[in-house]
Amino acid sequence: MDYKKAGVDIEAGYRSVELIKESVKGTLRPEVLGGLGGFSGAFSLKAIKGMEHPVLLSGTDGVGTKIKLAFLLDRHDTVGIDCVAMCVNDVACAGGEPLFFLDYIACGKNYPEKIAAIVKGVAEGCKQAGAALIGGETAEHPGLMPEDEYDLAGFAVGVADEKDLITGETIKPGDALVGIASSGVHSNGFSLVRKVFEMTRESLETYYDELGETLGETLLTPTRIYVKALRAVKDAGIVIKGCSHITGGGFYENIPRMLPQGVTASIRKDSYPIPPIFGLLQRQGGIGEKMMYNTYNMGLGMVLAVDSADADKTVQALEAAGEKAWVVGSCQAGEREVTLC
C-alpha cells in the first residue's frame, strides 16, 4: 500500500506546480519576494511607507455553484477569474488597492492539466486586478469528493490610506448614484439558475438568439473586475462617497450596506439596459421581479454614490476606463433602504 493507491498522487501534484509556474509568473509585482514553491508567500511593504496611515483590507470568497457548469462543459479557464473578482472587488469597494491573492483548490483527484487551466484563470484575474498571485494550495480529497469535481476559493489582501477609505459615512440626500455594467450573472444566484435551466451539456450548448451565443457561454462569462475602473474615478479627482458591490442579495441587500442612517437610495429601473439573460431567467423560471432584484445584479455590478455635481464626470471617467456606466438614481432622506421605480 502507498499514498497513490490510497488516492493521493504526489507526482501529479508536482506536475501541477510545474504547469502553473508561467501563469503565476505573469502576475508578480516588484514587492513579491522569493518564488513559487515556498511554505509561504512573501510580500514587501516598502511601497506603502509613503501612506499617512496604511490600512490593510482583506476579502475571501469562492465561485459557488457556478462551478457546476464548468464541470458539465469541461471548461475550467474562467472560474478562476470569478474567484479573484469576488475577492478583489470587495477590497476595491472599500477604497483599497489589491496587493496579493492566494487560491485554494480542493479536488477529488488531481488532474494536472485541469488544475493548470483553473490557475490560468486565477492568474488572469490577478492581472486584471493588478494583484500578485503569491501562493495557493491544491488538496486532493479522495473519498470526500468525486474524482472529476473540485471547489475553488481565494483570499485577497489590499491596502488603502485611511483617509481614502470608502465608508459611506458622508453620503447625503441629493447625492447621485452611478451604476457600472456587469458582465452578466457574475457568480451569484446559480442555485436558482440551475433550477430554472436543465443542467445538461445539451441544454448549456443550446444557442439563444436573444443572447447571441449559447446559454453556457453566457452563464460562464467571468465576473467583471472593477479595480482599475474605481482607480480611474479616483484619478479623475472624484470622491467616491459610497460603493456597493452587487453580489448575493442583489440590490435589496447590498445597496443599503453603503448608506448611513437617514438616507435611502432610489434606483430608476429604466435608466440602463438590463442584459437579456435576466429576462430569459425571469420568464423561464416564473420568477417575480422583486426576487430577481433580490438575487441578481440585474446588469449593474457596482453602484457608486458621488456628489451630484460629479455624476457626469464619474460616468465619463468610467467610460474612458472601458466600462459602461450610467447615472441610475439618487439618494434621498428616508429609511436606510433601496427603492426601485
Given this model, what pLDDT does residue 311 score?
98
**Count of residues for the chain?**
341
Residues 6+ apart with CB under 8 A from 118: 76, 77, 79, 80, 105, 150, 152
Q: Which amino acid is at 236?
A: A
Given this model, what pLDDT does residue 2 score?
44
- Asked, colleague to colleague, whether 10-164 and 176-340 share their fold, the answer is no
Region 132-139: mean pLDDT is 91
| Distance in angstroms (rounded) separating the CA atoms of residues 67 and 65 | 5
Looking at domain 176-340, what is its CATH homologous superfamily? PurM-like C-terminal domain (3.90.650.10)
Region 150-179: mean pLDDT is 96
Cα→Cα distances 299→162, 268, 309, Å? 31, 13, 25
Region 250-265: mean pLDDT is 97
Residue, of 231 and 35, whose pLDDT is higher:
231
pTM given for the model: 0.92
> In the predicted model, what is the mean pLDDT of the chain?
92
Residue, of 3 and 223, whose pLDDT is higher:
223
Residues 6+ apart with CB under 8 A from 336: 256, 259, 260, 261, 262, 263, 264
Domain boundaries, the chain: 10-164, 176-340
Q: For residue 8, what pLDDT band results from cuts at 50, 70 and 90? A: low
Cα→Cα distances 69→86, 118, 150, 220, 232, Å? 18, 14, 12, 7, 33
User: Is residue 107 scored above 90 in pLDDT?
Assistant: yes
SS3 state of residue 175: coil
Q: Count other Cβ atoms within 10 Å, centred on residue 167.
A: 13
Given this model, what pLDDT does residue 27 score?
78
Helix count and strand count (H, E) for the chain:
12, 14
| Distance in angstroms (rounded) separating the CA atoms of residues 238 and 131 | 23
% of the chain residues with pLDDT over 90: 83
Q: For residue 42, what pLDDT band results from cuts at 50, 70 and 90? A: confident
Q: What top-level class would CATH report for the domain 10-164?
A: alpha beta
